[in-house]
Chain A
């Protein structure tokens, strides 16, 4: 009687086992892709059951979700486990899905002056305690900072040292020394920062990653790019309507407040003399340049008017067509670059006629 019972039991046990295994196995056509670091599973199988379900596929979605989750859990349970404080914990691998960063990579900063020195000498940072025993106050105080252990500015009694002036304020002297040290520290910090910042600029090349930049930033980037050639931008071509950059030269330099006393005295006396004299002093150079500029402007305005009229009436030559070539060289002295920008496109003869005409108006003539 027992034998068939035992057999029955065995068969029953086998069936139970099969059933249990069945409970956790899921049949899929395509295997899922797992990224266990992110607890992620991707199912590539086309969701046919859901498609056939129609409008409210809730039950089918749930069944699909259950199957997929079962597979994911199966994978997770196969990971190596360890016990951490009475909980079974699985060790996850690194996430394999590549996701974009939220900020760009940190750029390597150049070493500060101290770091370079320490590296050369092989100095390594010594581990120091946070608190130091302060005898004077009889308690543990921090090594530096607010209410530190040995703050020499906070002493109430300072002996006048042997060789010092008895009237000197020793307390003020200490406070002054502290301020100087703080200022020096700040200066060095800013210098380190400037050095680091200077290193950063070449790599950025002035352009943002996303391309959304303001007009000024783009202009600056373009300027820097233009000047970064072997001949420092001298032979760079410009676009047809592009204007030459103004204001990129040096700013005005002023004389120092007090330096050359003799020169200053001389210039002041000259100024007084000019103010006192009855005769009007005329700087011929400046006068001629100013005159020429005015006349050039008039001529330009006239030509524009003429050209417009000319275009309308079929291109008749204007009154300013013929000119004498190359008048006598300028007797108004040196041109201080006032004509540089404007006279480039004009024929030299125009200036010559003017130059000759200025003479009777000018005051002193310098040869």
Chain B
């Protein structure tokens, strides 16, 4: 259905815009849509604003025309106070949705210290064995990585690693803390880390989940063949790191093998006949 263009682009700019939104081999960075529910209260609104600050410039407040595949929806009612739904989409349909309840929230503005510039790629750390035990928690971890990871870059400036998001799963709660990174001298090349609490800190409770079915999830994970690393054939490495290669050859006739010729050792015709006679005599005997 994407081939029949409902709007034929009339300018180059429009054409570029449409091409950007098409499915591609290596995709764009995921945009996040932050939605305020009809009954969102101040806490939830503040959470959304803080998330927007963290995710700039890849976050957008509820807009229909945006090409977003991640969303965060905040609402508040008596049965589910301070509700936050994080979700992602595949092909404009909902893939996963996880509902979290906010128990404790400290906003960016409540913590008075300097913040880091927006758009930096954060360090992500997940602590706690809960994140691998249940399917829900595993999906939550996957979803949080997807949400917060930022653009994929080949290089990173070591001095530019500014902040870290730390998630701890304990007793059914997920503690979300963000710290600013201070690199101190430690005498050797690797610096010593000191942390300073910077960003929003949330205590989250896992409520309902709507996870994608297995086959839909598998479909969304399909990697194109072009992006898979091409395996070089006939090259192997052993445990010591020596590289071995294999060459396939046709069968060789060793008698016709070209070796180094030594003229001195060449047989003269007279000697050849002598040899024949001697060999005949040996045979007879």
- The residues of A with any CB-CB pair to B shorter than 8 Å are 16-17, 20-21, 23-24, 37-47, 50-51, 57, 61-62, 64-66, 68-70, 72-74, 76-77, 81-82, 84, 87-92, 94-95, 97-106, 109, 193, 196-197, 200, 208-210, 212
Contact = CB atoms under 8 A, between A and B. Distances in A.
Task: Give the residue among A37, A38, A44 with the most B Cβ atoms within 10 A.
Answer: A38
Nearest to A43: B127
Task: Give the residue among B1, B192, B223 with the most A Cβ atoms within 10 A.
Answer: B192
Contacts of B161: 39, 73, 76
Contacts of B30: 102
Interface residues of B, number: 74
Task: Give the residue among B27, B155, B195 with the most A Cβ atoms within 10 A.
Answer: B155
Interface string B215-232: 011011111100001000
Contacts of B245: none
Contacts of B220: 100-101, 104
Contacts of B193: 66, 69-70, 73
B122 interface: yes
B156 A89 contact: yes
B153 A92 contact: yes
Contact of A88 (B90, B131, B158): B158
24 contacts: A47-B127, A50-B168, A61-B168, A61-B175, A73-B190, A76-B161, A77-B158, A82-B155, A87-B159, A88-B159, A90-B157, A95-B152, A97-B142, A98-B221, A99-B142, A100-B95, A100-B220, A101-B220, A101-B222, A103-B91, A104-B90, A104-B91, A105-B23, A109-B3
A103 B27 contact: yes
Interface in B133-175: 141-142, 145-146, 149, 152-161, 164, 166, 168, 170-171, 175
A103 B127 contact: no
A263 to B, nearest CB: 41
A68 B166 contact: yes
B284 interface: no
A106 B155 contact: no
A212 B129 CA distance: 36
Interface string B167-207: 01011000101010101001111111111010000000000
Interface of B: 1, 3-4, 22-25, 27-28, 30, 69, 88-91, 93-95, 121-129, 131-132, 141-142, 145-146, 149, 152-161, 164, 166, 168, 170-171, 175, 177, 179, 181, 183, 186-195, 197, 216-217, 219-224, 229
B156 A39 contact: yes
Given A64-B127, A101-B27, A200 B153 contact: no
B192 A89 contact: no
Task: Give the residue among A37, A88, A101, A212 with the most B Cβ atoms within 10 A.
Answer: A101
A51 B1 CA distance: 53
A24 B190 contact: yes
Given A69-B164, A89-B155, A90-B157, 4 more contacts: A62-B195, A92-B155, A99-B142, A100-B221
Contacts of A102: 27-28, 30, 69, 88-90
Contact of B132 (A44, A50, A106): A44
Task: Give the residue among A57, A92, A100 with the most B Cβ atoms within 10 A.
Answer: A100
B25 A106 contact: yes
B1 to A, nearest CB: 8
Given A61-B175, A210-B93, A104 B128 contact: no
